[in-house]
Amino acid sequence: MEDYHKPDQQTVQALKNIANRLRINSIKATTAVGSGYPTSCCSAAEIMSVLFFHTMRYRAEDPKNPNNDRFILSKGHAAPALYSMWVENGFLKESELMSLCQVDSTLEGHPTPKQPFVDVATGSLGQGLGVACGMAYTGKYFDKSSYRVYCLMGDGEMSEGAVWEAMSFASYYQLENLVAIMDINRLGQSEPAPLQHHVEKYQKRCEAFGWHAIIVDGHSVEELCKALSQPRHQPIAIIAKTIKGKGIAVAEDKMGWHAKPLPKDMAETVMRDLQSRMLNSNKRLYPSTPTEDAPPVSLRNTRMPSGPSYKPGEKISTRKAYGMALAKLGRYNERVVALDGDTKNLTYSEIFKNEHPNRFVECYIAQQNMVSVAMGCATRERNIVFASTLASFFTRAYDQLRMAAISESNINLCGSHCGLSIGEDGPSQMGLEDMVMVRSIPNSTLFYPSDGVSTEKAVELAANTKGVCYVRTSAPETSIIYNSNEDFHVGQAKVVCQSKDDQVTVIGAGVTLHEALAAAEQLKKERIYICVIDPFTIKPLDAKTIIEHARSTRGRIITVEDHYYEGGLGEAVCSAVVNEQGFNLHRMAVSHVPRSGKHAELLKAYGIDRDAIAQAVRKMLSSSANAK
């Protein structure tokens, strides 16, 4: 085999000793805390040993070095095995491992980026390979660098559809710099995994997805060294047949030991036995150093050098304005990249693709994998990533978004065709739950622009804002209401209509802001004046501006949104004003599952159009008068 040099016996013995020290450390740490998954660590011991001390090229003293090979522990419950490797290479102290899961420890029960050697949080099974795909895609196509990406998976997560979305993505883009190692230890949480130890079935499935699949004895360091040295012309799957609980005689290949630390007396016996298996080896192994060929990257201060070019009164949909803004941003930083899920002609990310084809990634109809790939592309601050699809389709990737927040990932998402605006296509395509989804994610920012100018500003701000950013765009064309030199900030609302005689404060966003402005014109004819506010960001919400103007309208507030009642604009405003005395808030939203129809008909039918807003204002004023 080309480039394969069989390790000498001293190296083999040193790798075996490292594997057994991993077992000892994993047992010791989990027993000390009374929590964890020692049997899952033990099945992967030789895999981890060979990866970290024979195969991977990295600087142990500098885990975030952009030239390092990447490692993702998709089976995150084996976290002590990962921590043990960083004890072995000297980055962590063994005493630190004993702090596992303690409230003041950075070594959590599943990996999180509190440690610099963890790029993304794992533990929600089935997501690691998609992130690894994003890293490998970046390495091959953006960085054009020699670093490789290794992803260790469990057999239980092979039932997740997201795994096969990632498998398909990797083979389609010929990610020969990606290696997936599957720890086939047969046993799941409550019963055996579906294919148990039928490793040839895993092999056929991987091959059907375009991977080069190799079956090995997962406890043979010689076989692992050989398989991991294979020449690479396509993504490689190492299917490692292992024994769950290997080295723990009472638990080997037995049900009932998942997520169970060993009792102290049993742990001491097992650790003594493992220690006795470690033969003397004078050879000390060190990681190989990486090739220094990853280009320097700067993502700071990614700004548009000129303002939007729209004129007041001109009409454009915010989804098209998103595509135009993204393409414009891409001209000024070559690390701006765009992903889409085969909706680029709807989200208008095709404008970016046409202008920057080498920085556009088509993820096809696999939204969960698209979000995972976005996370992978964004790791180690290699890219400014935007991913777009219909707002309704992001809901199926909610768990990936949740894990992105735990991973402290900086990714930007655009959900288009929000609310009723998709019209004739009906409720399955209408994004009516996306605001509550994004608002519930920690450290997220929710932009809801209402015209082309504010959309371009939202894209620019998102590129410079940490955490998960979401830009909510609409299908219908709407008028430009802001001047191109208007200044926008995260958490700062705009008052778009006001007078000294305002009687009610109306808050709308997207299409409903334009309906509110139309209602204001209607009501003027009746000498009823309203203050209209565009929140711009729903999270964080500009409570100060809302409260200030609501006080001037005697506490009368109406919110109107193209979203279900639960968790959207109305509830955000409710939370902002909950402690204010004498406020009267009326919410207008979509009350039940809608139906197909023309956009204007649907706004009317579900009571969020200009006529409904005007009527709500009249009713609120009438109620106030009657109360007096």
pLDDT tens-place string over residues 30-67 = 999 999 999 999 999 999 999 999 999 999 999 999 99
CA distance to 511, 512, 546, 611, 617, per residue, from 520 (Å): 14, 12, 17, 10, 10
Residue 344 has pLDDT above 50, yes or no: yes
Residue 90 has pLDDT above 60, yes or no: yes
Q: Looking at residue 500, what is its pLDDT? A: 97
Q: Looking at residue 628, what is its pLDDT? A: 65
Q: Looking at residue 1, what is its pLDDT? A: 45
**Average pLDDT for the chain:** 97
- d(C-alpha 477, C-alpha 404), whole Å: 32
Cβ-based neighbour number of residue 460 at 10 Å: 21
Backbone angles phi, psi at 412, to 5 degrees: -120, 130
pLDDT tens-place string over residues 112-148 = 999 999 999 999 999 999 999 999 999 999 999 999 9
E strands, 47-159, where? Answer: 70-73, 149-154
- d(C-alpha 238, C-alpha 236), whole Å: 6
Give the CA radius of gyration of the chain: 28
- d(C-alpha 506, C-alpha 558), whole Å: 5
- d(C-alpha 226, C-alpha 96), whole Å: 33
The residues with which 537 forms a beta bridge, in sequence order, are 447
- d(C-alpha 367, C-alpha 369), whole Å: 5
Cβ 384 vs Cβ 333: under 8 Å: yes
pLDDT tens-place string over residues 410-454 = 999 999 999 998 899 999 999 999 999 999 999 999 999 999 999
Q: pTM here?
A: 0.98
Residue 2 has pLDDT above 60, yes or no: no
pLDDT tens-place string over residues 499-514 = 999 999 999 999 999 9
Cβ-based neighbour number of residue 114 at 10 Å: 12
Cβ 356 vs Cβ 384: under 8 Å: no
Q: Looking at residue 466, what is its pLDDT? A: 97
Q: Looking at residue 197, what is its pLDDT? A: 98
- d(C-alpha 563, C-alpha 370), whole Å: 24
Instruction: Decide: helix, strand or coil at residue 279.
Output: coil
Kindly state the tokens that stand for 25: 């450390």
Tell me, rounded to whole angstroms, the distance of Cα 605 from its chain centroid: 36
Cβ-based neighbour number of residue 433 at 10 Å: 18
Q: Looking at residue 3, what is its pLDDT? A: 60
pLDDT tens-place string over residues 588-628 = 999 999 999 999 999 999 999 999 999 999 999 998 777 76
- Reported as half-sphere exposure (CB side, CA atoms, 13 A), residue 154 has a value of 33
The residues with which 360 forms a beta bridge, in sequence order, are 338
Q: Looking at residue 625, what is its pLDDT? A: 76
